[in-house]
Amino acid sequence: MTMTRRKPWEVSDELWAVIEPLLPKHERRFRYPGRKRIDDRKTLQGVLFVLYTGIQWEYLPQELGFGSGPTCWRRLAEWQEAGVWEELQRVLLDRLRAADRLDFSRVAVDASHVRAKRGRRSPKVGPSPVDRARPGSKHHVLTDAHGTPLRVSHTGGHRATTSMPVAWRRSAGCYGPAWAWQLCRPWSCRVSVWMIWPRYPWILREQPGSPA
C-alpha cells in the first residue's frame, strides 16, 4: 500500500498538539459576533504555504481552504506579537535536547540581505555591505551540526555574519542553565551557505534566488 506523503505546509496532529496551547485564546462573542474566525490550524497551514512557496500573500489559492492571504498575514502578525514563535522554538529545542538529538560540536551560520526601501536607520536597518547608500537588514540563522535551527536574528545590513555567534553566546541564558552551558562551550563555527540554504530557504528568503 502506497503511503501518502505529507506536504511541507501540512501540520500533523502531533505538531498541532504542541502549537495549539501556545496560541492566544479568543472567545467568540454571541452578541454582534461578526464573521466567524477562521480555524487557527488552517490559517497556520496557509502561512506555511506562503513561506514555503514564496508567493505573495494576496495570491494564496482560496481553494486550499486556508483563508485569504491578508487573513493569514494578520494572524501571523498577531502570533508574532504574542511571542508564539519564540516559545515554540524553545519547546521544540527542549524536546530535541532531552532526546539527545542536538549536536553542538559544530555549528553553521548563514545570512541573507534584505533591502529596506523605506527603512530608517535603526538597530535592525543599516548600510548594505555592497552599497552603503542603500539601507537594508540581515536575517541570520544558526544551526547545529545536523542543520537544526538554533537561533534566528534580525539585524542591520552592515552586521557581519561571523560576529553573530558571540551575540548568541551572550544571550544563551534565555533558554535556561542547560542551554547556557551548551551554547557557551567551545564551538567550531562555519559560515556555511550550503548547509542552511537548501534546507531552510524560507527562513532566509526575500525573493526566490540565491542568499546573500
Of the residues 46, 81, 116, which one is the last residue of a structural domain? 81
pLDDT tens per residue, range 60-93: 999 999 999 999 999 999 999 999 998 998 898 8
Residue 66 covered by a domain: yes
Residue 134 covered by a domain: yes
- Assess whether 56 and 134 both reside in one domain: no
Nine-digit cell at 180?
547556557
Residue 178 covered by a domain: yes
- Beta bridge partners, 197, equal none
Domain count, the chain: 2
Nine-digit cell at 212?
546573500
Domain holding 52, by residue range, is 13-81
- Assess whether 113 and 184 both reside in one domain: yes
β 149-156/135-143 pair status: antiparallel
Residue 96 covered by a domain: no
How far is 43 from 141, CA to CA, in rounded Å? 25
pLDDT tens per residue, range 19-46: 999 999 877 766 666 678 889 999 999 9
Q: How confident is the model at residue 201 (pLDDT cuts 50, 70, 90)?
A: low
- Assess whether 156 and 66 both reside in one domain: no
From residue 178, alpha-carbon distances to 75, 100, 165, 172, 182 in Å are 33, 13, 17, 9, 6
Q: What is the mean pLDDT of the chain?
A: 74
Residue 212 covered by a domain: no
Nine-digit cell at 64?
486550499
Counted residue by residue, the chain has a size of 212
Total-model pTM: 0.70
- Assess whether 115 and 186 both reside in one domain: yes
Residue 210 covered by a domain: no
